[in-house]
């Protein structure tokens, strides 16, 4: 039995506990939580920490297989320039790719991440996930706007999915990349698969750029220019919206994660929340700032009472996989969002979105969420500072 104490415990699903103590067994399962009133010396085997203890973070959107692109600098701005840079810089040695994935997972774990919703185009991450203490939901992602390659793309995706299912049978699913990057035949394959598949969970990049709306509505803009310049055969869309694409192609019973929502409006999110009872908006604030130089309308989305979670995105568009960094960006830019709210997005809400909430996401008896210490905490304003560090206790 171990006991951990701090100035405050943030259970997430209940009010913060001043001078709280957490008891865990040898497997890291929580057996008790209580307030001691500061007399920690009277409790046997208690470690006291100056700061706050929170549950392990849930990174709801990441691309671990792109870890080797850390520090990438696209030549062109916006999402089209970013996609082009990823495509051009992806060719490196397998040894380097695997070393970067391994290092990223170790860094994320030590910084308090207990679960990751990971986008997978290959099986590169699979051996590293089997060695990691982090929990994973694997979204095997498909994209391809050329109708002629839809069948091959789908079959390859199924092969990758089956490899993940051997080890993560309940934590792997097929998913579309975005609203603008799939042909109609490929959408049909995914729609039929999601209708029949036991694991009905999907994650789609949504409302990430103005270029997405422009391409779907008028068949023009940076994404059109990229496809045309690459000499890809594709059907030019017209009078479509991202919401229409989602509703037309993803069955309503699917547990749906909308990633980014940088340019999404409250009315379209409201429409989608009425269509999908298990809807989660996932924000990746640092990535949004780097790629599109702006942030989503989180205050308005919060008022809609939809489930909101946080991801880091990949190291191609983030400086680290630190969830605390994402929280601080939100707190720095939204005065009406407090630490408790942002923390719930980074923990229990992500756990619900990925199906891990029975074990992770909050400090409760019977759960094993991992415990994370946040130091240099501003107790006057009850929030972390720019000097705060998140470090794993268990």
Rounded to the nearest integer, the mean pLDDT of the chain is 95
The string of pLDDT tens digits covering residues 23-45 is 999 999 999 999 986 565 566 78
- Find the mean pLDDT for residues 89-98: 85
SS (H, E, C) 317-371: CCCCCCHHHHHHHHHHHCCCCCHHHHHHHHCHHHHHHHCCCCCCCCCCCCCCCCE
Alpha helices in 22-64 (DSSP H): none
Residue 279 has pLDDT above 80, yes or no: yes
pLDDT value at position 90? 58
DSSP 293: S
pLDDT value at position 78? 77
Residue 261 has pLDDT above 90, yes or no: yes
| Band of residue 302 on the pLDDT scale cut at 50, 70, 90 | very high
pLDDT value at position 39? 61
Report domain 57-359's class: alpha beta
Residue 281 has pLDDT above 80, yes or no: yes
- Find the mean pLDDT for residues 297-322: 97
pLDDT value at position 244? 98
Residue 307 has pLDDT above 60, yes or no: yes
Residue that the structure tokens 């429409």 belong to? 271
pLDDT value at position 79? 78
The string of pLDDT tens digits covering residues 200-241 is 999 999 999 999 999 999 999 999 999 999 999 999 999 999
Nearest to 137 by CA among 90, 173, 95, 83: 173
The answer to whether the Cα torsion of 193, 194, 196, 201 is positive or negative is positive
Question: CB within 8 A of 365, min separation 6: which ones?
Answer: 30, 31, 32, 33
| Band of residue 199 on the pLDDT scale cut at 50, 70, 90 | confident
pLDDT value at position 86? 74
Please report, rounded to a whole number, the percentage of residues in the chain having pLDDT higher than 90: 91
pLDDT value at position 292? 92
pLDDT value at position 290? 93
Decide if 261 contacts 287 (C-beta within 8 A): no
- Residue 196 is encoded by which pair of tokens? 């029949």
- Domain span(s) for CATH 3.20.20.140 in the chain: 57-359
- Find the mean pLDDT for residues 159-173: 98
| Band of residue 191 on the pLDDT scale cut at 50, 70, 90 | very high
Q: Report d(CA 281, CA 140) in Å as an integer.
A: 19
pLDDT value at position 120? 99
Strand-pair partners of 258: 204, 281
């Amino acid at each position: 039995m171990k006991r951990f104490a701090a100035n405050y415990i943030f259970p997430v699903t209940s009010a913060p506990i001043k001078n709280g103590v957490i008891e865990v067994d040898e497997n890291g399962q929580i057996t008790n939580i209580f307030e001691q009133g500061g007399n920690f010396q009277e409790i046997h085997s208690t470690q006291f920490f100056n700061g706050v203890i929170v549950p392990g973070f849930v990174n709801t959107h990441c691309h671990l297989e792109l870890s080797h692109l850390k520090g990438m600098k696209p030549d062109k701005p916006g999402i089209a320039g970013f996609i082009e840079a990823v495509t051009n810089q992806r060719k490196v040695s397998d040894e380097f790719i695997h070393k970067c994935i391994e290092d990223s997972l170790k860094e994320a774990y030590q910084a308090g991440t207990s679960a990751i919703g990971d986008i997978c185009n290959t099986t590169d991450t699979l051996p590293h996930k089997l060695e990691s203490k982090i929990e994973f939901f694997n979204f095997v992602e498909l994209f391809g706007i050329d109708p002629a390659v839809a069948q091959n793309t789908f079959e390859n995706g199924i092969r990758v999915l089956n490899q993940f299912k051997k080890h993560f049978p309940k934590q792997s699913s097929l998913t579309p990349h975005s609203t603008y990057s799939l042909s109609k035949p490929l959408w049909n394959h995914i729609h039929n698969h999601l209708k029949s598949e036991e694991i009905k969970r999907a994650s789609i990049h949504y409302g990430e750029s103005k270029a997405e709306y422009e391409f779907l509505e008028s068949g023009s803009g940076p994404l059109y220019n990229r496809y045309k310049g690459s000499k890809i055969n594709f059907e030019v869309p017209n009078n479509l919206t991202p919401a229409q694409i989602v509703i037309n192609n993803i069955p309503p019973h699917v547990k749906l994660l909308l990633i980014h929502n940088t340019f999404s409006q409250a009315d379209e999110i409201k429409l989608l929340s009425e269509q999908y009872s298990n809807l989660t908006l996932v924000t990746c604030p640092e990535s949004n700032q780097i790629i599109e130089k702006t942030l989503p309308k989180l205050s308005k989305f919060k008022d809609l009472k939809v489930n909101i979670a946080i991801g880091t995105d990949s190291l191609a568009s983030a400086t680290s996989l630190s969830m605390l960094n994402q929280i601080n960006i939100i707190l720095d830019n939204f005065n009406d969002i407090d630490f408790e709210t942002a923390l719930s997005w980074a923990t229990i809400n992500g756990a619900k979105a990925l199906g891990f909430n029975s074990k992770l996401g909050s400090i409760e008896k019977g759960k094993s969420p991992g415990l994370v210490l946040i130091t240099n905490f501003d107790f006057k304003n009850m929030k972390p500072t720019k000097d705060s560090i998140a470090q794993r206790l268990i």
